[in-house]
Amino acid sequence: WGRWWCVLWGGCGVCKKKLNLVMVTVPETAGTCEEQLKMGELICRGRYTSVYRGALSERSVAVKVYPAAHKHKYDNERYNYSLLLPRQQLNIARFLCGDERVDAGGGAHFLLVLEHYPQGSLSHFLSRWSVDWPSCCRMMHGVSRGLSFLHSEVLTGDEWKPAMVHRDVSSSNVLLRSDLSCVLADFSLSKRLTREPCPQHGGPKTQHGEPRTQHGDSVSEVGALRYLAPELVAGPLCECGAALKQADVYALGLLFWECSRRCHDLFPGGTSPPFQLAFEAELGREPTLQDMHRLVVRDRCRPRPPLQWRDSSSVLQQLKETMEECWDQDAEARLSAQCVEERLDQMSRLHVPATFTHSDGAGGRWPAEPSS
């Protein structure tokens, strides 16, 4: 636990009452593992990492292992978790500690020890199970709450969390607890934002103008291609916070589409179509940047709502509008994550029409037996 930061605003040096001086702690790195860590079986290979089951003393954990070649990503993710730590939020993956290990051949590996989320990633879960409307809402609401928290600057007492952006929002970077509540995870590309306004967004307006990213490096590394907002596919993006937040919200809209297509309550007869990633029908599993450019920049294409949703109830109408306002071509017209969170809160109070909930007994529904 590291250094002290002074946040100064709205005061002069003369009057102590006017001088609004707040001392907040910002941990430089989150804790090193002090308890004994035992490694278990491989859960999953991510883009740059391997994730294992593990045990920290008696606690069941997941261990995300970075090879030495990706140490900078490990450093970044660990730093990002340290920024998130002081105010542990329910919809953000729980970081426990970090460590470095050297294998028998002398190679270094870098470990992030996280709470273990037994249902794994959202994409994995939805490929096995369909869900009812309350569970679907809980998932979408949870992710938007996590993102809204991430995007916000939070200052309470001596705790400070800067506004941050995720930059890799996808259904494989959302994890599920047993009760199907969701957490946002994989902060390896995330960035902390500062307060300076971005010149491309109208220049300095007030002292609380939109922040831009703290680090000087360009947005050269991007998240999974299929979730990239059109302005990111088209070219390098301004490093300002507003634009990066808008790109996160675009990906959130795609994630809602993936999730709601697996909600059996939203389909007459109660059978949802099989899981598909956004744009999988159009571009398959490995889209290239050129594919994405053609689809989302040139043709302004977005995932199509299922045909069954044509004659919309008010639930479906609101759901479709929310997705469309998340993935608007005009980034500035997109909803903020806070607004999406509020919308989902309202939507979760709505009931789906009774005609939709009639079940034809098809399998694959959570929590019944999974389809093959």
Q: By rule CB under 5 A, what string of x and - marks binding of each residue 23-62 to Mg ion?
A: -----------------------x----------------
Residues with a known catalytic role:
168
Q: By rule CB under 6 A, what string of x and - marks binding of each residue 74-93 to ligand ADP?
A: -------------------x
Contact between 353 and 359 (Cβ < 8 Å): no
How many Cβ atoms sit within 10 Å of the Cβ of residue 190? 24
**Residue 293 touching ligand ADP (CB under 6 A):** no
Alpha carbon distance 170, 98 (integer Å): 24
R_g over Cα of the chain:
22
> Would you report the helix, strand and coil content of the chain in percent, each value rounded to 5?
35, 20, 45
Nearest to 122 by CA among 256, 268, 27, 265: 256
**Residue 172 touching ligand ADP (CB under 6 A):** yes
Give the residues across from 193 on adjacent strands: 213
Q: Which is nearer to Mg ion, 110 or 133 (CB)?
A: 110
How many Cβ atoms sit within 10 Å of the Cβ of residue 250? 24
How many Cβ atoms sit within 10 Å of the Cβ of residue 299? 10
**Residue 190 touching ligand ADP (CB under 6 A):** no
Unique residue bearing structure tokens 């809602």? 256
Q: By rule CB under 6 A, what string of x and - marks binding of each residue 54-73 to ligand ADP?
A: --------x-x---------
Q: Which does 366 bind (CB under 5 to 8 A by kind): Mg ion, ligand ADP, none?
A: none
**Residue 48 touching ligand ADP (CB under 6 A):** yes
How near is the Cβ of 190 to ligand ADP at its closest, in Å? Answer: 11
Q: Given candidates 121, 127, 148, 213, which one binds ligand ADP under the rule CB under 6 A?
A: 121
Q: Given candidates 51, 84, 96, 278, which one binds ligand ADP under the rule CB under 6 A?
A: 51
How near is the Cβ of 171 to Mg ion at its closest, in Å? Answer: 10
How near is the Cβ of 70 to ligand ADP at its closest, in Å? Answer: 8
Q: Which is nearer to ligand ADP, 69 or 104 (CB)?
A: 69
Q: Where are the alpha helices (DSSP H) in the chain?
A: 71-84, 122-128, 133-151, 230-234, 241-260, 280-283, 289-292, 314-326, 337-347, 354-357
**Residue 171 touching Mg ion (CB under 5 A):** no
Give the chain's end-to-end CA distance (angstroms, integer). Answer: 48
**Residue 52 touching ligand ADP (CB under 6 A):** no
Unique residue bearing structure tokens 């939507």? 347
Give contact residues for Mg ion (rule: CB under 5 A). 46, 173, 186, 188
Give contact residues for ligand ADP (rule: CB under 6 A). 43-44, 46-49, 51, 62, 64, 93, 114-117, 120-121, 124, 172-173, 175, 185-186, 188
